[in-house]
Structure 1
Amino acid sequence: MSHDHSRFHDSLEAHDDIAINPSANPALDTLVNPARRNVLKGGLTLAALGFFAGGVSACSKASASPLLNFKGVPVQIDPQFDRVLVAEGYRAVPFFSWGDPVEAGAPAWNPDASDDWQAQLKQAGDNHDGMDFFAFPGESDRGLLVMNHEYINPPLHPSGKIDQTKPRPLAEVRKEQAAHGVSVIEVKQGADGQWQRVMDSPYNRRISMLTGMRIAGPLAGHELMKTASDPSGLEVFGTLNNCATGVTPWGTFLTCEENWPNYFINRDKADFAARISHKRYGLAQEGTSKNYAWETADPRFDATPYADQLHGGHVQEPHRFGWVVEIDPFDPQAQPIKRTAFGRFSRECAALSLGTDGRMAFYSGDDAKGEYVYKFVPAGRFDAGNPKASRDLLDSGTLYVARFDADGSGQWLALVHGQNGLDVASGFASQEEVLLNARAAADRVGATPMDRPEWAAVHPSTREVYVTLTNNDGRGAKQPLDKANPRPQNLHGQILRFNEKNADPTATTFTWELFLLAGEPQGAKGQDGKAVAVNLTGTINGDLFSSPDGLAFDAHGRLWIQTDYDDIEPAMQSMGCNQLLCADPRTREVRRFMVGPRGCEITGLAWSPDGKAMWANIQHPGISFPGSDGKSRPRSTTVLITKLDGGVIGS
């Protein structure tokens, strides 16, 4: 298979990360005293980077981390590299691939089936992404693995192409819709110690764009949620572009709808210009929607208003996406629920921080250049003695957006109607409109535009919060430089770390620092023999990498980092294929644990309860993986990683 597969992924990424933030929020040099402004306005020297990093430069010496007890693997720059390379003493085997049977009666994957969407409804979806493991109560060797299927690639069909110049076949569109969503599969550890799928489990389940879902929270039944297909505004079919995830203390799975605007179009230019709920999120305006032209076969995705149709037709259908969706993995009959109190944007994750008193927060990035970091604080507390009583806690609470001040302090700004300038005069008639147009509300309150904020992870004991900022080649041109986003043309990204006041997840203030800047080592030279530009130089203590994306802690406090960059771009030549790395939060040392096949993204992590098995996803591999013949159609695949001596991963 050629690299056309990954090139289509790159075309999706091209609109996924377009900067559409029109706000003029101040650069952070205007928020600090004049004595510090010369640092921010001066040249981006390595000394300045050391200041920005809050001590990262002091950790540049090699360290002996007590957490990273494995030998790092080398980068892989071979353009034909087509396998998974894992650290010495470990093995990684394919476990669950696109098209594998999930539900009872599902046929085996047929690479030539172009219109069998009913079969796809029972099979693994495409482009595996975030996932979590849910153990059965009282059992450590049996659980449910729940994972997202973010989007599809044209090789879903034998032609490998999508013709967006003419109406698309409905059966083809239905198959693509069926390949989105979520899979729930039961897994069990066998007598030989190896984990296997339970093929006939009653818990095995597919959730897709064709699954009915309940709308809950402040916008349930609201006029802004009503469409021609759902005049009640209470139910929507499907979830799409599911990227990262979260879990609740009561044992449910949270899937997050990321780049949903790319599935819709509004051809009415006047309506688009006046409708902030379309314009601020970047819906297409002409031609076809940006991804797959579904609207040519399924009118739900044509958000152009039509006066002769109920509620203007489907103009409000985009309002029904961009939410956190709660799924009960242990109840196959339970309807998924879209929780609107979380707010609507291109959400990457919902990372939980749970206090000892039951108070909690969920952290999210909005994955686009110049967007924001958010947290949602439920109004109630989790009662560990009565988990079922917590089932509706996600329907009320406060959505906040972060402002990162240049002195290392930070503020959580409440997105609440009547506060921080969010009122009728500023275009927000109600709290429901604030939540529906969370990006515009964040613009108004003065949040800090960030370099593509993506996954968040919370340390299991300290409750420190880490956030990946993947990259931003428009920084310095479209968004000003600041301490949290200090590099122009930031191709390699960074990771931020912050601490809530008193480690309280509900606090409204925090302190923060740059955990690391990704990129080339100091003193590196390019292929032309010249020194690498300073904006491409990182502060990594250990193995280099670019574009941090996925992020997760294991139970022992190891921070696992996954990357997502175009591995054939000249700036990424020294990075090789995408990677899974591990960092020690204390020493900041980073070590490369695994690399994937050419053209892939490494994403999604889950562990068995004893930490001796880890699952990771290989998304959109560019060539034949998981085959090894160089000819097979590449399939997104979950790999199972175990240690040859049976020990804990990373130990």
Structure 2
Amino acid sequence: MTQDLQQFHAALAAPDDQSINPSGNPGLDQLVDQGRRTLLKGGLGLAALSLFGGVLGSRELFAAPPQLLGFTGVPVQTAADFDRVLVQPGYTARPFFSWGDAVLADAPAWNPDASDDWQAQLRQAGDNHDGMHFFPFAEAPDSHGLLVINHEYVNPTLHPGGMTFVDGRRPLAEVKKEQAAHGVSVIEVRKDAAGHWQRVLPSRWNRRISAQTPMAIGGPLAGHALMKTASDPAGREVLGTLNNCSMGVTPWGTYLACEENWPHYFVNRDAQDWEARVAHKRYGVGNGERSKYYAWETADPRFDATPDAGQPHGGQVNEPNRFGWVVEIDPFDPDSQPVKRTAFGRFSRECAVLSLGADGRMAFYSGDDAKGEYVYKLVPAGRFDAANPGASRDLLDEGTLYVARFDADGSGRWLALVHGQNGLTAENGFASQAEVLVNARAAADRVGATPMDRPEWVAVHPVSREVYVTLTNNDGRGEQQPLDSANPRRENLHGQILRWNEKDGDPAASEFRWELFLLAGEQPGAKDPQGQAVPAHLTGTINGDIFSSPDGLAFDGAGRLWIQTDYADDEPAMQAMGCNQLLCADPLSREVRRFLVGPRGCEITGITWSPDYRAMWINVQHPALSYPASDGQTRARSTTVLVTRDDGGVIGA
């Protein structure tokens, strides 16, 4: 089972391992090569700069304790049969919420043979837990709340015998179960009388949202021709959400699920139309005999985006336009309809992370998780009014979308993706703002954004508002993506983390200063198991415990930066890294310590805390062995894990 699952995840990732950015936007080494050498040495040093003369350097902004990391690092785990979660001594990590666990009160018990049908799956936890957030109840914030969890995609183990193909076609019942296992779970959690966190069932707030849940379309694309299909001629309601990876939250208390690798659920078999349709080709919508993931279109025609002139609005040709958005969900209103907020632009979105200014101005940062894609932010037109949070409900329907350009001298600029500006005109293929938003990738190509090494999660420091982004890896930088200061390695198997400060600390600023926080990889001078020196492109600049492929990223309230990893732990270049990890970094010293290691084959992802930071939840996604049962027989289950300190103290302190 281990090898089969690892092969499945390798095949699933393959479409994203191919760059489809045709822009040829200049690399920064073509501008100022010296800038790269200076940055790699840490010479720019955000911590030592007075940014734009108005904002203090990050050392002065961070009011951190002298010893931010209050634990010693755990060792890497390289055993092929490692099937548990290893956490720092003095802590306990226990499975809390696994695929198949009951969400609704009438959910049947999970069957270990995976024989539950799609109707049961709609009432149970979905598969492949990812981004999540804890929403506290005001009357007892440290002991009672709602945990909202993304379910990104599904494994073959969802079915008793794996995925079935009969003459290339999928059974409808299997497709429906897979759709039911996507989406989001909302579960009520609270401490019991003994002080232990438990799930609450039944609960009026518990809810499953899936690829079958009706969702409203909000913002500039609501009712637009580009959103109309034969099944929704009004273009105002989408059925479901797909491939939710990371997330965001709003200051008015809603959850932002982010649709990442949605293109591979669709197929357009008309080669000529696919070639000419930017909304398909530029995003990697399938153009073969079947879609790249699960062949849902063979059972559910909604996922066949081949144009059909005999159907209204070309049949389902616009259905892919209805994915790739931010989905706003109100966890405290289980009867509310989720809304796809189209002002955010459409791409393979990893997250939508908030930076809130003192005056109520906001920015929501996102990475487009593919090789050579971009970093974006949305600045809403309105401001958040803390005295009247209810007035904020539609603030995400109007704003300005920007994409980042990282210059070699450590400066940066946010380029507006606005129709009529920066070459985004009808003559260049953008007839209106709707075309700009639906084809945000092509718009970013046009304005000259910097292609990045798979930009993923973003984190904003709780005091300074300094912004960090993980660039997971990219072994395919070629002529279209030349090396630059922000992406300095050609065979970048291990990735890096960047950080920046907005001008004057203003989330809505159009300028920023940036630097490389670290390059992931092995220590300089490291040797492989045969005693040979590790190649330079596999070494990094980590001060402390090594890791590869940073993915999940979040700050806790004290300013500790938590880093989660996602790499194929069976690849030769990852042998020194062992299983995937959760680490913690001090933003000032840049010291990194390994806090937790997951079971073989998994990704460590998703992170949230109780408001007192005495409880942490993280996700173990697609473990390859029998975790959480760890009996060598039970099928593996993606699982939300609860981490607490044995003495009841603050995590990481």
Paired position in structure 1 for 2:118: 117
Tell me which residue corresponds to 1:501: 503
Deviations 1:404-425 (A, max 9, x none): 0000000000000010010011
Structure 2 CA distance for partners of 1:235 and 1:522, relative to 1, 3 Å = same
Tell me which residue corresponds to 2:4: 4
Is 1:200 aligned to 2:202, yes or no? yes
Structure 2 residue 32 is matched with structure 1 residue 15: no
Mapped to 1, the partners of 2:431 and 2:313 lie a distance apart of 19
Contact between 1:6 and 1:621, CA under 8 Å: does it hold in 2? no
Aligned twin of 1:578: 580
Separation in structure 2 between the aligned mates of residue 39 and residue 53 of structure 1, nearest angstrom: 9
The aligned counterpart of 2:613 is 611
Map 1:159-198 onto structure 2 (within 5 A): 159-163=161-165, 165-198=167-200
Report SS of the residue matched to 2:15. helix
Query: Per-residue displacement from partner, 1:176-221 (whole Å, max 9, x unpaired)?
Result: 0000000000000112111101111110000000100000100000
Q: In the alignment, what sits opposite 2:54?
A: none
Secondary structure of the corresponding residue to residue 586 of structure 1: coil
Residue in structure 1 matching 2:468, options 458, 466, 469: 466
CA displacement, residues 423-466 of structure 1 (integer Å, 9 cap, x when unaligned):
01111000010000000000000000000000000000000000
Q: Does 1:128 align with 2:129?
A: yes
- The CA deviation at 1:530 is 2.1
Q: Deviations over 1:140-187 (max 9, x none)?
A: 211000010000001101112343852111011000000000000000
Say if 1:52 and 1:578 are closer, same or farther in 2 by CA, change over 3 A. farther
1:444 to 432, 437, 446: 446
Q: Quick one: distance in 1 between partners of 2:39 and 2:134?
A: 42
Q: 2:380 aligns with which of 365, 378, 381?
A: 378
Tell me if structure 2 keeps the 8 A contact 1:65–1:587: no
Equivalent AA in structure 1 for residue 582 of structure 2: L
Q: Scaled by the length of structure 1, what TM-score is found?
A: 0.96
- Cα displacement (A) at 1:491: 0.2
Cα distance 1:455–1:38, how it changes in 2: closer, same or farther (>3 A)?
A: closer
* Aligned equivalents of 2:167, 2:93: Cα separation in 1: 42
Find the partner of 1:561 among 558, 563, 568: 563
2:496 is matched by which residue type in structure 1? Q
- Amino acid of the structure 1 residue aligned with 2:97: F
Q: Is the 8 A contact 1:497 1:513 kept in 2?
A: yes
Which secondary structure state, in structure 2, belongs to the residue aligned with residue 497 of structure 1?
strand
Q: CA deviation at 1:344?
A: 0.2
Partner of 1:631: 633
Matched-pair contact (CA < 8 Å) for 1:154–1:162 = no
Letter in 2 for 1:386: N
Matched, 1:83 2:84: yes
**Matched residues in 1 for 2:188 and 2:73: separation?**
32
- 1:60 maps to none
Question: d(CA) in 2 for partners of 1:25 and 1:2?
Answer: 41
> Deviations 1:13-43 (Å, cap 9, x if unpaired)?
12134210000111213333xxxx3675xxx
Does the C-alpha gap of structure 1 residues 526 and 52 become closer, same or farther in structure 2, counting only changes over 3 Å?
A: farther
Counterpart-to-counterpart distance in 2, 1:366 and 1:587: 29
Match of 1:523 in 2: 525
Contact 2:150 2:183 (C-alpha < 8 Å) held by counterparts: yes
Q: Distance in 2 between matches of 1:56 and 1:66?
A: 17
Letter in 1 for 2:360: G
SS at match of 1:104: coil
List runs of 5+ in structure 2 lacking aligned partners. Answer: 49-64
- Is contact 2:165-2:171 (8 Å) kept? no
Distance in 2, matches of 1:342 and 1:555, equals 27
Residue 309 of structure 1: how far off its partner (Å): 1.0
Q: 1:162 to 1:290 in 2, by over 3 A?
A: farther
Partner AA of 1:50 in structure 2: K
> 1:597 aligns to what SS in structure 2?
coil
Kindly indicate whether residue 291 of structure 2 is the aligned counterpart of residue 300 of structure 1: no
Asked whether 1:514 is paired with 2:516, we answer yes
Which residue identity lines up with residue 21 of structure 1 in the other structure? N
CA displacement at 1:224 relative to structure 2? 0.4
Match of 1:49 in 2: 40
1:258 maps to 2:249: no
Counterpart in the other structure of 1:214: 216
Query: Structure 1 CA distance, aligned partners of 2:597 and 2:530?
Result: 26
- Per-residue CA shift, 1:484-507, capped at 9, x if unaligned? 000111000000000000110000
Match of 2:58 in 1: none
Distance (Å, rounded) in 2 between the aligned partners of 1:435 and 1:448: 18
Structure 2 CA distance, aligned partners of 1:111 and 1:435?
44
User: Where does residue 284 of structure 1 map in the other structure?
Assistant: 286
> How many residues are paired up?
637
CA distance in 2, matches of 1:39, 1:498: 16
**Which digits, 9 at most, give the CA deviation of each residue in 1:549-580, with x for residues without a partner?**
00001111110000000000000000000000
2:648 to 642, 646, 649: 646
Paired with 1:490 and 1:164, the residues of 2 have a C-alpha distance of: 40
2:114, 2:157 within 8 Å by CA — same for their partners in 1? no
Aligned-residue Cα RMSD (Å) equals: 1.7
CA distance, structure 1, for counterparts of residue 636 and residue 18 of structure 2: 27
Which contiguous aligned blocks of 4+ residues in structure 1 show a shift greater than 6 angstroms? Answer: none
Offset at 1:284? Answer: 0.9
Residue by residue, what CA displacement relative to the aligned partner does 1:224-261 show, whole Å, maximum 9, x if unpaired?
00001100000010001000000000000000000000
Shift of 1:475: 1.8
CA distance in 2, matches of 1:405, 1:413: 12
Alpha-carbon distance in 2 for matches of 1:9, 1:311: 35
Instruction: Give the aligned partner of residue 236 of structure 1.
Output: 238
The residue aligned with 1:97 is 98
Partner of 1:25: 25
Whichever residue aligns with residue 528 of structure 1, its letter is Q
Counterpart residue type for residue 449 of structure 1: P
Once structures 1 and 2 are overlaid, which stretch shifts more, 391-400 or 114-123? 114-123
Within the candidate set 523, 542, 545, 2:544 is matched to: 542
Among 320, 345, 348, the alignment partner of 1:346 is 348
Q: Conserved in 2, the CA contact under 8 Å of 1:228 and 1:313?
A: yes
Equivalent pair of 1:6/1:600 in contact (CA under 8 Å)? no
Task: Quote the offset at 1:138 in angstroms.
Answer: 2.9
For 2:360 and 2:514, locate their aligned partners in 1 and report how far apart those are by CA, in whole Å: 24
The Cα offsets for residues 70-119 of structure 1, whole Å up to 9 and x where unpaired, read as 12100000010000000010000000000000012000111334461000
Q: Is 2:140 the counterpart of 1:139?
A: yes
| Residue pair 1:94, 1:626 contacting (<8 A) in 2 also | yes
Specify the SS of the correspondent of 1:277.
Answer: helix
Q: Which moved more, 1:614-623 or 1:164-173?
A: 164-173
Note if contact 1:467-1:496 (Cα within 8 Å) is conserved in structure 2: yes
SS in 2 for 1:3: helix
Does residue 1:67 correspond to 2:68, yes or no?
yes
